[in-house]
Amino acid sequence: MQSQPTPLLTIGTRGSPLALAQAHEVRDRLCAIHGFDPETLAIKVIRTSGDAIQDKPLAEVGGKGLFTKEIEEQLLSGEIDLAVHSSKDMPTRLPDGLVLSAFLEREDVRDAFISLIARSPDHLPEGARIGTSSLRRAAQMKRFRGDFRIVPFRGNVQTRLKKLADGQADATLLALAGLNRLGENNRATLVLDEVRFPPAPAQGAICIETRTDDTATGRLVAALDHPQTRQKVEAERGFLASLDGSCRTPIAALSRLDGGTLTLLGQLLSVDGQQAFEEEISGDADAGPELGRRLGEKLKAAAGEDFLNTLNGAE
């Protein structure tokens, strides 16, 4: 029996259809720009804690790192050469020895409202059930209409759509970027306005993680980097880091570029959506992380210590 040749590169990813679509996109782009044969780039599926734990809200079991930890362990050990992630799943602090070498050009940042009984959130009946596992989406919906009831929805895009079809909720919210990548954007009943319902920090951006000491792979991956996406995502991640944000905190961010100026909107909500604080900041697009940090400080000052203590107590 002939042994399989050792791949030039092994790409690590979660195993959901969306994660695999993202990994294949990265592989295709690497092949296109460097002339590799697709057969020489392997894709390895790695099951993460976030995939394994389906019966509890993420806020109860550890937050963002649940979708990256096992992948990063294999990256550090050399079992894979690069990892492909959804940027919004990434903790703001990476393990020592790892770096985000590239961000692909960002997809649509907006959320999609999906319902089989109403054409918009306004048209849902009194006491309607919103299926979501996102504290941000839950808080934004409760802020929009206090009568909404939140039903926990875990699982990949297909699982959540099936739960909706089975009547477990009256509506759900999904990232439009994911629906677009899966060719499922026809499922969107309505695309929500991104200023009224700002997205999660870094939503819609694929990132590629490599080892800092693997300069060869780092150079190959860096060729895929989209500078404008990096500027926006680094600003939003700086904002998130300033607030010590995780899956346990309802935080939203929206960045816009106008030439060399970046404008960043930040939103911090109470878990029940009854309190919301928004601030905006503009500055040099190359100073994104610092802009994000300053915006976070502005929001913390606006919200006040009592609000922040209450939010931390909700963890």
**List of residues 6+ apart from 159 with CB closer than 8 A:** none
Residue 43 φ then ψ, to 5°: -115, 120
**Which string of b and e fits 194-204 if b means at least 16 CB within 10 Å?**
beebbbbbbbb
Which residues are within 8 A (CB) of 195 and not within 5 positions of it... i.e. 6 or more apart? 254, 265
Residue among 81, 89, 108, 170 flagged as catalytic: 89
The tokens of 267 are what?
Answer: 């939103």
Do the beta carbons of residue 151 and residue 129 sit within 8 Å? Answer: yes
- E strand map for 52-92: 82-86
The single-letter code of the amino acid at 69 is K
**Could you tell me the CA-to-CA distances from 104 to 84, 227, 246 in Å, in that order?**
10, 9, 23
For 311, the 3-state DSSP assignment is helix
CA 39 to chain centre: 29
Contact (CB, 8 A) for 170 and 115: yes
- Active-site residue, 28 included: no
Q: At what angle do helices 157-165 and 17-34 cross, to 10 degrees?
A: 150
Helix/strand number for the chain, H first, E second: 11, 13
Helix (H, G, I), strand (E, B) or coil at 259: coil
Q: At what angle do helices 305-313 and 288-303 cross, to 10 degrees?
A: 100
Bridge-based pairing state of the strands 251-258 and 190-191: unpaired
Q: Is 165 exposed, middle or buried (0-12, 13-18, 19+ CB in 10 A)?
A: exposed
Q: Which residues are catalytic?
A: 89
